[in-house]
Structure 1
Amino acid sequence: MANKNISMAVIRRLPKYYRYLGDLLRKDIQRISSKELSDIIGFTASQIRQDLNNFGGFGQQGYGYNIEDLHTEIGKILGLDKSYSAVLIGAGNLGQAIANYAGFRNAGFEIKALFDANPKVIGLKIREFEILDSDFIEEYIKENNIDIGILCVPKNGAQQLADRLVNAGVKGIWNFAPLDLNVSKDVIVENVNLTESLFTLSYLMKEDLL
């Protein structure tokens, strides 16, 4: 199983393995070699074997990987055999798009409530969610055993909201605010900076054109 000695680079490749293996299962493919998986994913066969060996031996020489078993085990490593409850703070365009995406619920991540500080949107509905007043975030988290806070707010105020989430008891923050949050070590933060990703695309396009 996973441990803290495994590099983040390996961990960040696991969701890609999980996604591609799921695609293969839906095509009713039962087994695959590391070379065949390499051709599909784009990682080298050696890299794939090294990554998976961090978590135990899943393949058999001369047989390859049982796709269903490997998909299940990677799901367990990623914690996808559990369910998580979340609140989303910031019901603007990005927050609404995330709330409307059904794939999170299918993977075991259920958004329970949306919050915003703007009185013009409080009380409106997104899907089945009524947008709640952000003054009541802590009360809701404590009463509903929320695991994750999703921040879709501007930079100003993001740290204060993160502090409120942590103090209320969340153990993970999915942060879309353009700010690196400072939280206690027992809280996990995953930053998603859309601008940085776009700038990376810009760099790669520039290099390709040189």
Structure 2
Amino acid sequence: MPKNQYVSTAVIRRMPRYYRFLGELLERGVTRISSKELAALMNLTASQIRQDLNCFGGFGQQGFGYHVALLHEEIRKILGLDQGFRAILIGVGNLGRAFVNHVDFTGSGFDLVGLFDKNPALIGKKISGLTVQDADEISAFCAAHTVDVAVLCVPSEAAQQTANGLIDCGVTAFWNFTQYDIKVEHPEAVVESVHLADGLMALCYQVNDARRSSSSAEK
């Protein structure tokens, strides 16, 4: 990517989709693909794909298209999936356990190294090979280990205080699954907040809109 070039959030959010679709093509033994063919698979336009990839150098060849394995590897590097950032997860309730058991942290660029909770019934239990530690030990853990990212599955009322404490421990990236939009005062801090109910409400709108359109067409 050219130095200091701005890449929009919309483009960045499409990059994991490219990576996923290209991985599926590799599993099927596809070695090359045109922007038109890839667009048809991803429900995008060929122009959109070329514009997106040109933000990082292009990678296509005139008359050949894209070499699937090479483009897959380039996007892996663009996303930083080869960096192995160290992550901890705080809040090992139902949602937290689901992430530990089912999210591919390693394949997504992270090494999950610690689990923490305040519930005495959970402390000491093993989940996917990691022992749940007392949340009061987070500061000591971060002092002994480099921690880049915290996954927050704590109650909303504890979200901001937890984030502030983690910033003090040197953690500057957050995957936030609380219902609270945390704010962090740090020049390098990044926050990815996921409100699951927002996605459901967006789906609700689309279902409702589709039914309205269908009803209007029948009149």
User: Which TM-score band (shorter chain)?
Assistant: over 0.9
SS state at 2:157 partner = coil
Per the TM alignment, residue 178 of structure 1 is displaced from its structure 2 partner at its CA by 1.0
Structure 2-normalised TM-score?
0.92
SS state at 1:112 partner = strand
Q: Which deviations, in whole Å up to 9, do the C-alpha atoms of 1:127-171 show, x marking residues without a partner?
A: 212211101111101211111100011110100001111110113
Partner of 2:194: 192
Partner of 2:80: 79
Partner of 1:120: 121
For residues 144 and 41 of structure 2, what CA distance do their matches in structure 1 show? 45
For residues 32 and 140 of structure 2, what CA distance do their matches in structure 1 show? 49
Structure 1 stretch displaced more, 115-124 or 155-164: 115-124
Partner of 2:152: 151
Structure 1 stretch displaced more, 36-45 or 177-186: 177-186
SS state at 1:103 partner = coil
For residues 102 and 56 of structure 1, what CA distance do their matches in structure 2 show? 30
For residues 137 and 10 of structure 1, what CA distance do their matches in structure 2 show? 35
Q: Which deviations, in whole Å up to 9, do the C-alpha atoms of 1:97-146 show, x marking residues without a partner?
A: 11112621234412111101112221222121221110111110121111
- Which residue identity is paired with 2:123? I
Q: Which has the larger radius of gyration?
A: 2
1:3-152 mapped onto 2 (5 Å cutoff): 3=4, 5-101=6-102, 103-152=104-153
RMSD (Å), alpha carbons: 1.3
Aligned pairs, how many? 210
* Contact 2:116/2:133, CA 8 A, preserved across alignment: yes
> Which runs of structure 1 show a deviation greater than 6 angstroms over 4 or more consecutive aligned residues?
none
Structure 1 stretch displaced more, 98-107 or 48-57: 98-107
For residues 13 and 106 of structure 1, what CA distance do their matches in structure 2 show? 17
Q: CA 1:72 to 1:111, structure 2 compared with 1: closer, same or farther past 3 Å? A: same
Per the TM alignment, residue 4 of structure 1 is displaced from its structure 2 partner at its CA by 5.8
- Which residue identity is paired with 1:168? C
Per the TM alignment, residue 185 of structure 1 is displaced from its structure 2 partner at its CA by 3.0
Partner of 2:217: none
For residues 154 and 207 of structure 1, what CA distance do their matches in structure 2 show? 33
For residues 23 and 14 of structure 2, what CA distance do their matches in structure 1 show? 15
Give unmatched runs, 5+ long, in structure 1.
none
- Which residue identity is paired with 1:205? V
Give unmatched runs, 5+ long, in structure 2.
213-219
SS state at 1:62 partner = coil
Partner of 1:206: 208
